[in-house]
A and B are shown apart, each in its own frame.
Chain A
């Protein structure tokens, strides 16, 4: 990481900025198998000193921060996608489904599968607007007899609804 040109960053770096760098690492690279050691390294502090400083600054341990960051992403993916639990587990940086499920249940009180089942299907939550549903949902059969006739008028409203917005 190189420093930015001085014209834009004239002030000295406040101490907490180093800790924020560690938290940024958890926020941006939680999908990779990073650990608290990596966070301490990003802050440029020893592991023990780092954990204490992080907790004093942000109110929770770096381990708890990284863990809840991953769990929040997992919960979001369970709600908003149709990815398998195993895929989501890997996606948010866990190596084994077993320990992921254990952590998830400890945090949310239900298994990942149970959590997903407690929400409407992801398909129903997706903000797919009506115009898209209509365009893609049109029957693809192009052999209607009226194709041969001179441009028949479509019943109004059947193919286009002017004020469709499902958001």
Chain B
């Protein structure tokens, strides 16, 4: 059996992303390691509280030669436009969570809306990554 473990998001600033995912979203750091001998490569992973077996790795866009400058620019461009990737999150109470996140300064691009599958809202992280927050209907 294959299980889901973790996924990776590009971020334009790891410190800013860390602040957003922990202080605003309320997630926890599951790994934060900087390796000096690898050009201070920082492996930074966060996860929702109570879900220690999954994680999102917040990855800085690497310098050359790991990624060439033109590609890095393309990634930054896509990320800034909101096309780099989406995280789909669920919650028991979408409206209440959206209110809570708004008090912490999260700007929503989609207010909670009724969908056939439940209530769904959307926002961006500081890098432009898209996050959906859904309260799923029990069928």
Contacts and interface: CB of A to CB of B under 8 A. Distances in A.
Interface of A: 1-5, 7-8, 27-29, 31, 73, 76-77, 80-83, 122-123, 125-128, 132-133, 135-138, 140, 142, 167
Contacts of B99: 1-2
Interface stretch (B9-17, B25-33, B77-85, B124-132): B25-33
B38 A27 contact: no
Contacts of A29: 26
B43 A126 contact: yes
Contacts of B137: 8
Contacts of B121: none
A135 B66 contact: yes
A130 to B, nearest CB: 13
B50 interface: yes
B108 to A, nearest CB: 14
B41 A136 contact: yes
A3 B99 CA distance: 11
Interface residues of B, number: 35
Given A1-B99, A2-B96, A4-B94, A73 B135 contact: no
A12 to B, nearest CB: 16
A74 to B, nearest CB: 11
23 contacts: A1-B96, A2-B99, A5-B114, A8-B119, A8-B135, A28-B26, A31-B23, A76-B30, A81-B29, A81-B31, A81-B33, A82-B34, A83-B32, A125-B31, A126-B45, A127-B31, A127-B45, A128-B43, A135-B66, A136-B35, A136-B62, A137-B37, A142-B65
B95 to A, nearest CB: 5
B105 interface: no
B49 A27 contact: yes
A8 B62 CA distance: 44
Contact of B29 (A4, A5, A27, A80): A80
B74 interface: no
B31 A126 contact: yes
A2 B33 contact: no
Contacts of A138: 65-66
Contact of A77 (B29, B43, B49, B118): B29
Contacts of A5: 95, 114, 119
Interface string B60-96: 0010011000000000000000000000000001111
A136 B94 contact: no
B33 A82 contact: yes
A142 B64 CA distance: 11
